[in-house]
Amino acid sequence: MKIKKIWWTDAIFIIMTLASFTCVLIPAGELNPKLAGIPYSVWVGLVYCILYVLLAYIASNLQEEGPDDH
């Protein structure tokens, strides 16, 4: 069951990564919409960082455990 579940995190990772090379993360010449005065690509980039680390955490919990896991 865990093996099946982990493909969802992989799928989210791939979608997020492909989207990161588009205007979702890097719109050319665009500063807006700002968040608390922070330019768009900076705060969305920070959200990306948090989501990737969160996704990695979820994936690490869903991974199969090996003989030397603990």
Partner 1 sequence: MITSFIIAGSIYLTILIYLAQRSRVKEKTTSNYLMGGGNLGLVLGLFTTAATIFSAFTVIGMPDFFRTHGIGAWIFLAVADAMMVYVLIRVGVVVRRKARSSDYKGMAGLLMNAYGYKFAGIVAFIGVVTFLIPYISVQIRGVSIFLNAAFPDALPVWGWGTLIVAIMIIYSEVGGLRAIMYNDTLQGIILFIVIWVIGWNCMREFGSVSAMFAKVEATKAALLSVPGPNGLFTTQFFIISAISIVLLPFTQPQISTRVIIMKSTSALRKMAIGLGIFATLVILPTMFMGMYGAVLYPDSTVQEFIGHVLLYDQAPAIAALGLIGLIAAAISTSDSQIFALGTELRSLLTTDDKKALFITRIFIFVVGIVALLFSILSSEHLVLLARTSFAGTALLGPLILVGILSKKKPGLLIPICTLVALVVFVLSNAGVLPERYGPIEIEICLFAFLLLATGIELLRLNAQKEVS
| Footprint on this chain of partner 1 (rule: CB under 8 A) | 9-10, 13, 17, 20-21, 25-31, 34, 36-42, 45-46, 48-50, 52-53, 55-57, 59-60, 63, 65-66, 68-70
Looking at the Cβ atoms of 2 and 50, the one nearer to partner 1 is 50
* Long-range residue pairs from 20-25, CB within 8 A, at least 24 positions apart, any chain: 20/48
Looking at the Cβ atoms of 1 and 6, the one nearer to partner 1 is 6
Q: How far is CA 9 from CA 25, 34, 39, 52, 60, in A?
A: 20, 29, 28, 10, 10
Looking at the Cβ atoms of 1 and 68, the one nearer to partner 1 is 68
